[in-house]
Amino acid sequence: MATYDRRPDPTRRGTLPTAEPTPIRPRAPRDALTLTWVGHSTFLIQIGGLNVLTDPMWSDRASPVRGAGPRRFMAPGIALADLPAVDLVVQSHDHYDHLDLPTVHALAVRFPDAEWLVPLGLADWISRRGAHRVQELDWWDERTVAGLRVGAVPSQHFSGRGPKRNGALWCGWTLAAADVHRAVYFVGDTGYFPDFGEIAERRGPFEAVLMPIGAYDPRWFMRPAHVDPEEAVRAYRELANRQAGRPLAFVAMHWGTFKLTEEPLLEPPERLRRAWRDAALPEPLLNVLRHGETWTTHD
């Protein structure tokens, strides 16, 4: 494996490049697809005429207590108050950097008609924080929300808040507006596992995969739960190989927002770009967005 010069983390917060978010307001046309990176694993996805949030996290710390725990290095790329109307929220699991109580409560108050789709074991927690329309899904279950087909798919991870472990399921999510040939795969948190090809076959083809690339060291501990950049590229290739020639955009996430593990904060995209080049993959398909940046599909 290649070696890396592990430079110290930046000493000042908020120093990564940012972009002005440009989602289509109030909603994108049904045949459009946009992805706006809020930070970490939070995206505003516009697909099938709906506004969808993934793993919404707007708090300053990923922690059960104020004043302690991992603090945001970068502010959210779009303020919660500036969001367009949210139609659907998908939740991958219950860890504090993905499921945030103040954010859930704020969204439930502001968007009381939003649908929430969550893995098994999380509906009660979400409902008790004010959300009214919550459904649990098992792996490979699907629901249709205003014509958008939404499915829970396997991932290799774990769940738990505080000392309790694995009291709820974890998953990735697929979003497909089949009538206009738009589909996205939000991987959630995962270690490498051998089912990416099956996910592509059963739920694809996809236009974009939102793939985690950070929080991977030390490998002896993090390997089962978080892919490193090289494993992310491997997973991408297994997806792309089942796309029947349709281009698949890689959109990086789960880096540059919270310092969770031992690797330098800015190392994941450097390693990702090197692994991408080593695999001789098309450069235009690799997307490392700035916080706030909006990616739009180009037909």
> Taking 80 as the threshold, does the pLDDT of residue 5 lie above it?
no
Nearest alpha-carbon partner for 275 in 220, 234, 243, 218: 234
Q: What is the CATH number of the domain that holds 155?
A: 3.60.15.10
pLDDT of 8 reads 84
pTM of the model: 0.96
Cα dihedral 110/113/115/120 (nearest 10): 80
- CA distances for 157 relative to 24, 160, 189, 230, angstroms: 33, 11, 6, 18
Question: What are the pLDDT digits (tens) for 102-148?
Answer: 999 999 999 999 999 999 999 999 999 999 999 999 999 999 999 99
- Asked if residue 19 is part of any domain, the answer here is no
- Asked if residue 8 is part of any domain, the answer here is no
Amino acid in the structure at residue 223: R
Question: What are the pLDDT digits (tens) for 180-219?
Answer: 999 999 999 999 999 999 999 999 999 999 999 999 999 9
Dihedral-angle region of residue 292 (phi above 0 means left; psi in -120 to 50 means alpha; beta otherwise): left
- Asked if residue 168 is part of any domain, the answer here is yes
Range of the domain at 118: 33-296
The tally of domains found in the chain comes to 1
- Asked if residue 20 is part of any domain, the answer here is no
Q: What is the DSSP string of 210-277?
A: EEE-----SHHHHTTT---HHHHHHHHHHHHTTSTT---EEEEESSSSB--SSS-TTHHHHHHHHHHH
Question: What are the pLDDT digits (tens) for 7-59?
Answer: 888 889 999 999 999 999 999 999 999 999 999 999 999 999 999 999 999 99
